[in-house]
């Protein structure tokens, strides 16, 4: 446990040692603002809630999260520090978890910095803060799922651009996996049970369920087990491909 925290701490520090952290946070906050006020018609709707704010989170994460996760393992590979990391007396599982938690923690920080909009909506009206809390929780969980995919993909290649592009495509698939765009790929040949399984993987469905204010255990379990599976794959990939 201790080792995981040490890795996380180092990783998190390195976000702030480079412009990565600041660029990410500024762009994230700007984009949430743009989406909420222009596309989401925050004022025009005349309702005291944060639905237009959370509505666009999956699409924002689609590009921002892979940009954050692409360097997690690719960079270690490229600079050769993976050799250092793997020969330190810690397990690969600890490294994977440490790196993931750092990235997740960082996203959470960025997300919490959107608090002015929460203050604004409370100032303007009387929103249901429990729903807002649930939405934040859902958003954090969804970010974790995106990050787990990104971390795993970044372990596959030393090229950050490839890691980014492949992660975006995969994340896009998982956002829309309940929709015809993705399902039509499979509907011709896959049996119905697999189709159901795929459509149950949709981030949008699970996120929207939580964002409506209903914290259903199934949605929580979905995101957590989804993260667990991708990180498990991540550990195996690092183990097998560390020296390539």
Partner 1 sequence: MIEVKHLSKQFGAFKAVDDISFSAGKGEVLGFLGPNGAGKSTTMKMITGFLTPTSGDISVCSNNVLTDPIKTKKSLGYLPEGAPSYPDMTPLSFLHFIAEIRGFRGNEINKRVVDAANRVNLHSVMNRPIETLSKGFKRRVGFAQAILHDPDVLIMDEPTDGLDPNQKHEVRLLIKEMAKNKTIVVSTHILEEVQSVCTRAIIIAHGKLLFDGTPFELESRSKYHNAITLTVQTDSPDTLSDQLMAQLKTLPSVDSVENITTEQGKASFSIFPKKGASISKEVHSCIKTNNWEIDEFHVESGSLDEVFRDITTSSDISAKGALT
Interaction of residue 3 with partner 1, rule CB under 8 A: yes
Quick one: which of 48, 55, 60, 90 contacts partner 1 (CB under 8 A)? 90
d(CA 103, CA 7): 11
Interaction of residue 1 with partner 1, rule CB under 8 A: no
- Quick one: 4 or 143, whose CB is closer to partner 1? 4
Q: How far is the CB of 193 from partner 1 (least distance, A)?
A: 38
d(CA 135, CA 211): 4
Torsions phi, psi for 113 (to 5 deg): -70, -5
- Quick one: 212 or 242, whose CB is closer to partner 1? 242
Torsions phi, psi for 88 (to 5 deg): -80, 155
- Quick one: 17 or 119, whose CB is closer to partner 1? 17
Structure tokens at 163: 């890691």
Interaction of residue 87 with partner 1, rule CB under 8 A: yes
Stretch that binds partner 1, among 24-32, 49-57, 73-81, 196-204 (CB under 8 A): 73-81
Quick one: which of 47, 79, 187, 196 contacts partner 1 (CB under 8 A)? 79
Quick one: which of 1, 119, 217, 243 contacts partner 1 (CB under 8 A)? 243
Q: Residues interacting with partner 1, by CB under 8 A?
A: 3, 6-7, 9-10, 13-14, 17-18, 79-81, 83-84, 86-91, 242-243
């Amino acid at each position: 446990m201790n080792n995981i925290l040490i890795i996380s701490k180092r990783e998190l520090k390195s976000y702030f040692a480079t412009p990565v952290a600041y660029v990410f946070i500024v762009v994230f906050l700007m984009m949430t603002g743009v989406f909420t006020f222009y596309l989401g018609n925050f004022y025009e709707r005349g309702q005291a809630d944060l639905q237009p704010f959370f509505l666009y989170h999956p699409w924002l994460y689609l590009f921002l999260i892979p940009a954050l996760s692409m360097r997690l393992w690719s960079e270690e590979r490229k600079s050769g520090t993976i050799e250092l990391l793997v020969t330190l007396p810690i397990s690969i599982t600890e490294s994977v978890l440490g790196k993931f938690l750092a990235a997740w923690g960082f996203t959470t920080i960025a997300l919490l910095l959107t608090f002015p909009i929460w203050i604004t909506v409370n100032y303007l009206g009387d929103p249901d803060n429990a729903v807002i809390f649930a939405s934040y929780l859902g958003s954090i969980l969804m970010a974790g799922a995106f990050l787990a995919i990104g971390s795993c993909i970044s372990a596959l290649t030393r090229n950050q651009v490839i890691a980014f592009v492949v992660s975006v495509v995969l994340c896009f698939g998982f956002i829309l996996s309940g929709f015809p765009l993705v399902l039509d790929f499979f509907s011709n040949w896959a049996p119905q049970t697999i189709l159901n399984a795929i459509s149950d993987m949709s981030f949008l469905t699970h996120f929207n369920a939580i964002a409506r204010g209903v914290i259903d255990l199934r949605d929580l379990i979905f995101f957590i087990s989804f993260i667990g599976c991708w990180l498990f794959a991540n550990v195996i990939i690092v183990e097998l491909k560390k020296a390539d």
